[in-house]
Structure 1
Amino acid sequence: MNEPAAPAAPETLEVPVAALRPSLEAVLMVADQPLDSVSLASVVGHPVETVVAALQLLAEEYDEQDRGFELRHVAGGWRYYTREAYAAVVEQLVLEGQQARLTQAALETLAVVAYQQPVSRARVSAVRGVNVDGVMRTLLTRGLVQEAGQDAETGANLYRTTRYFLERIGVSSLDELPELAPYLPEMDDLEDELERVGGLPRTPDAVQDHPAVEPMTDSQETP
């Protein structure tokens, strides 16, 4: 009489951490919000289960190595955070940055946000003619701008100035900002510039209503 076959051992999930590490780290490094495992799996081209296992191993590895950052699973997604043990060092950097003067690029970007808020990064880029991602991150870190929801049509994140911004420039509301018209170029010149950098149509209504496309640029502007 034949003996019943022994139950098969559960399959061991092979996690190609070495292959997935560069892709996962690169994507998570630029994320400004937690990314869920489904999105990450779609980006790196591996099954969700494999990606989750790789993320968990990466998080454990960072903990074992006592890295200055950690990988957390929060709000349904994964994101890098500075490790709490080094909060004092990070705080010192942030506080020193608050005292530093804003660059010309940051001032110009802040002005666009102040007068056109709520506004998307793409719109700010179109007005300025350069990519403003780095500058916007600086303004967010400095507490001068903040997220203001999403555009109903495009889904793009919108930004506005903060109460701290008003305090820094010495006004109590946006109504006290100086009139901008005297400092603007003629309408025809402005339309030509917007059309050049953002591909916008040359009509006043279209310039106002058409969502700008972020212009192509060969270099990232320094904050």
Structure 2
Amino acid sequence: MAVKYKEIADCLEQEIRDGKFDQTKKLPTEDELIKKFEVSRNTIRKAVTQLVNLGLIYQVQGSGMFLRDKSVTDYINLGSLRGLTKDLNSKVIETKILSLQVQTADEIIAKQMRCEVGTKLYYIKRLRVVDHEPFSIEISYFNKDIVPYLNEDIASSSIYSFLIDDLKLNIGFADKVINCEKIDEASAELLHIHPLDPALIIENTVCLTNGTIFEVSKSLFHYQKAKILNRINFK
């Protein structure tokens, strides 16, 4: 069962993205949100904190909760664990499955995932196409003990929607490493760039709330098309 404050945060996020508060540029008050969702003040505050961390709103003591500027759009949000479907929600996103199979963890991947050698993993390689142009190549490993089922239909849309909405995984946090490398010939062909051109690379290690790693992945982005945003809140 999804945590209530996360459900509320998701609902408010969708309302923000749909433009419901564009006229006022602020959210309803805490008391109004408590009445609307019929929950405690603490639950509302947790939901609001999630929206702050996503960079959607900011709080001014005594004045309310205001929407942040939407002028920065169509970016990869480093603070998000939800993938391109959510980050680039104004774009047309297609997914081409290049490989989907069950593998056993070798020593290298077992070390990365902190699992036993021989653990069954889903291996998925996808080409993500944004507005009909190649955008990124994603290579992911999912621990099959935690993600027991994946198929092409799921992998062709939003895997994270399936993990959260259907499997009800309590996804906690991720470590992300960003670097640039010269791209190999096969990847260059997929992304429609020249071999040895640079590629922006993000490596993810994603954990449940209890710290268990369920995914490691590597995404190679078209260097001319990918934009990254990291919004920082100073306490």
Question: Shorter-chain-normalised TM-score: which range?
Answer: under 0.3
Higher helix share: 1
Higher strand share: 2
Question: Please, what TM-score do these two structures have when normalized by structure 1?
Answer: 0.23
Question: Please, what TM-score do these two structures have when normalized by structure 2?
Answer: 0.22
